[in-house]
Structure formats: C-alpha cells, structure tokens
Amino acid sequence: MTMAPGVRKFALAVHLTLSVGWIGAVAAYLALDVTGATSRDPQTLRAAYLTMEVIARYVIVPLALAALATGLVMAVGTKWGLFRHYWVLFSLVMTTIATVVLLLETQTISYLAGIAADPATSGDDLRALPNTLAHSVGGIVVLVVVLVLNVYKPRGMTRYGQRKQQEQLAASQQRTLAKK
C-alpha cells in the first residue's frame, strides 16, 4: 500500500522535521553535557544538569518517539517498504535502539538533575557528578548514520524484498499479456 503523492510529501515533511529536530535537540544537549563535564563553576553545573533534563524529557524524547513513528509510516506507506531494503531495516533497528537507550538514559539524567536541584548539594558534589557524554556523542553519531543511510539509500534488497519484486514483475507481465 503506497500513499498518494500529496500525502507522501506531507508525511515526508513531517518526518524530516521531527528527525532533524531530534538531531538538533541532541546537539543542544551535547553542548550542555560538555559544559557539565568541563565547568568548575557550581552555578553553571547546576544550570547545565537541570536544563539537560528539560531538553531530554520534553524535547528529545517526544521528537525521538515521533520520528520513529513517522519513519514507520514512511516505510510502510512508500515503495521502499519496511522489510524490502537493508537500509530501511538498518535505519529502523538503529532508530529503535537509540530510542530505547534514550528512554533508559532519561532515568540517569533525571537522577543527576535531582541532585543538582537540591540546594544542599555542594559545588564539590556537583563537580563529582558523572556526565552522560558517551551517550550524547553515541546518540548523535547514530542519528547522523541513520540520516546518511536515508539520504543515500544504498542498494541491497532483503530476500523478502527480492521475492516481492519478482511477484510484482510477474504480475506486471501477466497484465501486459492479458492486454494483447
């Protein structure tokens, strides 16, 4: 089942907006994460950890879930299909893994923000908090890899995709013969 051209373009615009927004939000989060890892100033650290939670919870998570959902819609509703091409499958798997890791990591981010929000937390305690840089950098790398895959669409069909292509070709040939 493929979408009508106007619907497909609208769905693509929504998906691209959400996906690029997700990358941008992770980049903003990464800037705060670097600040949290390098700053010695307690007020800066407190602000960074508190803002990281807001960005993660209210911007990154909703964008990730919406981008995953619209990506599924695009795969199912276009000629690419969900299981026909390796790049679509790889994009789906990587996006799903990134989303699951993000959802798990938000617990750590909330914990760190809770410590930072406590007025009794000293500057030394704030400086001793762990950072989430590995997840931030890993997340942005995964998102860029998925972006590149979706732009370049490397060749390679799954067995299912090859079978579907053969079925479509056979059906097309039968329709041509039936017209003669």
pTM above 0.85, yes or no: yes
Sole residue written with tokens 């990281």: 52
Query: How many folded domains does the chain comprise?
Result: 1
Can you give the pLDDT at residue 136?
A: 96
Q: What is the mean pLDDT of each run of 10 residues along the chain (180 residues)?
A: 90 96 98 96 97 98 98 91 91 97 98 97 96 96 96 90 89 85
Q: Is the dihedral of CA 10, 16, 21, 26 positive or negative?
A: positive
pLDDT at 175: 86
- Tokens 């299912």 belong to 160
Q: Are 84 and 157 in contact (CB under 8 A)?
A: yes
Please write the tens of the pLDDT for every residue from 95-109: 999 999 999 999 999
Residue 55, domain extent: 5-179
